[in-house]
Structure formats: structure tokens, C-alpha cells
């Protein structure tokens, strides 16, 4: 699954003032992120919990038909109900989808054996390869390294997006799995150190707004130039933290509105970013020195926001 080495954006779902999907803005966002290695559609950053099955199908179809470079597409499909995931896998048109991203069952806090049984059932039912997704800060349960290593033996599970924030766990996964099992970062600020212990890339939030710049960070790390990667990432750390200050994707949608790509609207129970956050982001964006791509990037922003 070498097509999933590198940098992807967890693509947000733009909404209009009435809360409907803004497909014009989604088209802008896909074009803005076209330099990335692949897209993740309808992941958690896409507010998938608030999207209907019909809306997810429409978004997926739109992404497939607005993909001129034939970029690999990963589709988010998960639940805390194993039978529901299996049903969705059976009923969803996954033609043109290269893999699914399936989040660890949330809220119910299954045991490690329960997590293993869940993913084995999902992988058995899936017509496309499965990427595990460990995000204990949202699900309430961590997938232990031993659990991931056992699941890596399933022929239809090819890797894990790890947002545990635990580098030691990342090391254990990398050391305990086959060379072709992909450890993928789910934490933008930890991607460089995670690559240093064996990760092969990232599924990113910040790449929605800074696709060229953040892909450059990741590529430097993948090439073994950790000094350059760390230097570039250090310039983006404060801005990255601001993306999560009022929740995700509230922050990145606020930044995307500043850039003129989509509006900042989110669906309840999330609320739109504050004016204070917008003002703070405008100042931070204006102060980011974006080297060779500075003029290209700032041309996307409202002139007043980039002063």
C-alpha cells in the first residue's frame, strides 16, 4: 500500500449558512490540496458524526469526480457498533475507494480482545484494505501496541493511523510489525519524531490549510533530514495549536475562511470559531514565513488578513 506513504489531509466538509454541504467550497478545497499524496474523505475531521449516509455518499462521489490526478482516496467508515460497520461496508458503493479508515469503537470502552474481534469482523467484511485508527482522546480507549501487532497479521489490514501521542507505543508498533505495515501519524506536531521511529507519513489537519508547506516537512523527515523537518515544523507549531484551541475542525475551518476557501460553519454540537480566534489566526498567518511559497500561499488570503 505504498500509495499511502506521505501526506494526506483529513478533508473537512464545508457547510453554508444553512448547514448544507457547500460543494463549490469543497471543490476549492480539493483543488487547494491537490499537491498532497492522497485524500481522506469523511474522516472525523469531516464531522462525519453529523453527516447522513446519503451526504457521505454524495461527498465521496464528488471527490471521485473532482480528482484529475487520480489521487488515492481513503474513506472514513467506522462505528462503535460492529454490525453497523459491516452493514455499511456491504451497502456502500466503494468503487474508486482505495482503502477505508475505521476508528476504534468509541464510548463503550471494549477490552483489547473486543477491539481485536471488532476489527477482524470489519476486515473480513471489507472489499478494500483497512487502516486502523487509534485516537484514545476521542474514543476513551487506547489500542495497545500488542493489539495492533496482532491485527497486523490480518491480510486485509495494512496499517494504523496512530493519534495516541505515545512515541514509545509507536516504536513498539514499528518494531513489532512487518516492513510493509504502515504506521501513520495522526498528530501533526508529532509526525517528525514518529517518522524517526518508523512511521511512513501522516493524515493531517493542518494540511487542509498549508498543504505545500506541511508536505515539505513530512518529505524532509521521510528523506531522513530531521534537522530540516524539525526546523520547518517549529515554525508551524503555534499555528497548529491554534487549530485545536476551540475544537476540531472549528479551528481549521476558521483558517480556511480567512483563506477564502470555505466558510467557517460547523454543525452542532460544535460551534463556529470566535472572532478572537479569527483575529489571532490572521496575525499568526501573516507572521509565518513560508519561504519559497510565500507569495503563492498569501495570494489565497484576503489582503487585509495578510498585512
Average pLDDT on 258-271 reads: 96
Average pLDDT on 18-25 reads: 97
Look at residues 176, 140, 132 and name the one whose alpha carbon lies nearest to residue 158: 132
Full-prediction pTM beyond 0.85?
A: yes
- Please report the pLDDT score of residue 300 as a whole number: 44
Residue 304 a catalytic site member: no
Per-residue confidence band for 289, with pLDDT thresholds at 50, 70 and 90: low
Contact 186, 161 (CB under 8 A): yes
Question: Using one digit for the tens of pLDDT, what is the confidence trace for 213-249?
Answer: 999 999 999 999 999 999 999 999 999 999 999 999 9
Mean pLDDT (the chain, rounded): 93
- Please report the pLDDT score of residue 180 as a whole number: 96
Can you give the residue ranges of every domain in the chain?
Answer: 2-221
At 166, give phi and psi (nearest 5°): -110, 105
Is residue 194 packed enough to be buried (19+ CB in 10 Å), middle (13-18) or exposed (0-12)? buried
Question: Using one digit for the tens of pLDDT, what is the confidence trace for 117-153?
Answer: 999 999 999 999 999 999 999 999 999 999 999 999 9
CA dist 307 to 213, 216, 283, Å? 20, 25, 8
Residue 64 a catalytic site member: no
- Residues 28, 56, 71, 161: which is the catalytic one? 161
Is residue 4 packed enough to be buried (19+ CB in 10 Å), middle (13-18) or exposed (0-12)? buried
> Fold for domain 2-221?
TIM Barrel (3.20.20)
CA dist 216 to 87, 222, 225, Å? 39, 10, 11
- Residues 38, 106, 133, 214: which is the catalytic one? 133
- Please report the pLDDT score of residue 285 as a whole number: 84
- Please report the pLDDT score of residue 288 as a whole number: 75
Amino acid at each position: 500500500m505504498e500509495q499511502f506513504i506521505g501526506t494526506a489531509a483529513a478533508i473537512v466538509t464545508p457547510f453554508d449558512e444553512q448547514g448544507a454541504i457547500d460543494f463549490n467550497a469543497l471543490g476549492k478545497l480539493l483543488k487547494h490540496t491537490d499537491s498532497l499524496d492522497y485524500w481522506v474523505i469523511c474522516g472525523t475531521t469531516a464531522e462525519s458524526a453529523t453527516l447522513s449516509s446519503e451526504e457521505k455518499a454524495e461527498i465521496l462521489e464528488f471527490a471521485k469526480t473532482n480528482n484529475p490526478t487520480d489521487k488515492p482516496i481513503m474513506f472514513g467508515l467506522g462505528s462503535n457498533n460492529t454490525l453497523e460497520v459491516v452493514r455499511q461496508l456491504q451497502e456502500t458503493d466503494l468503487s474508486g475507494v482505495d482503502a477505508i479508515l475505521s476508528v476504534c469503537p468509541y464510548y463503550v470502552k471494549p477490552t483489547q480482545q473486543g477491539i481485536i474481534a471488532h476489527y477482524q469482523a470489519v476486515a473480513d467484511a471489507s472489499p478494500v484494505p483497512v487502516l486502523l485508527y487509534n485516537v484514545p482522546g476521542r474514543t476513551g480507549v487506547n489500542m495497545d501496541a500488542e493489539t495492533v501487532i496482532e491485527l497486523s497479521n490480518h491480510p486485509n489490514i495494512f496499517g494504523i493511523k496512530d493519534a495516541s501521542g505515545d512515541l514509545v507505543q509507536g516504536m513498539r508498533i514499528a518494531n513489532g510489525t512487518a516492513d510493509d505495515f504502515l504506521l501513520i501519524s495522526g498528530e501533526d506536531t508529532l509526525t517528525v519524531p514518529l517518522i524517526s521511529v518508523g512511521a511512513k507519513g501522516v493524515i493531517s489537519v493542518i494540511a487542509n490549510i498549508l498543504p505545500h508547506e506541511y508536505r515539505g516537512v513530512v518529505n524532509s523527515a521521510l528523506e531522513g533530514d530531521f534537522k530540516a523537518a524539525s526546523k520547518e515544523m517549529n515554525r508551524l507549531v503555534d499555528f497548529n495549536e491554534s487549530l485545536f484551541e476551540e475544537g476540531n475542525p472549528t479551528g481549521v475551518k476558521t483558517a480556511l475562511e480567512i483563506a477564502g476557501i470555505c466558510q467557517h460553519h460547523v454543525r452542532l454540537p460544535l460551534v463556529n470559531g470566535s472572532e478572537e480566534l479569527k483575529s489571532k489566526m490572521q496575525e499568526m498567518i501573516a507572521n509565518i514565513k513560508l519561504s519559497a511559497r510565500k507569495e503563492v500561499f498569501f495570494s489565497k488570503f484576503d489582503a487585509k488578513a495578510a498585512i
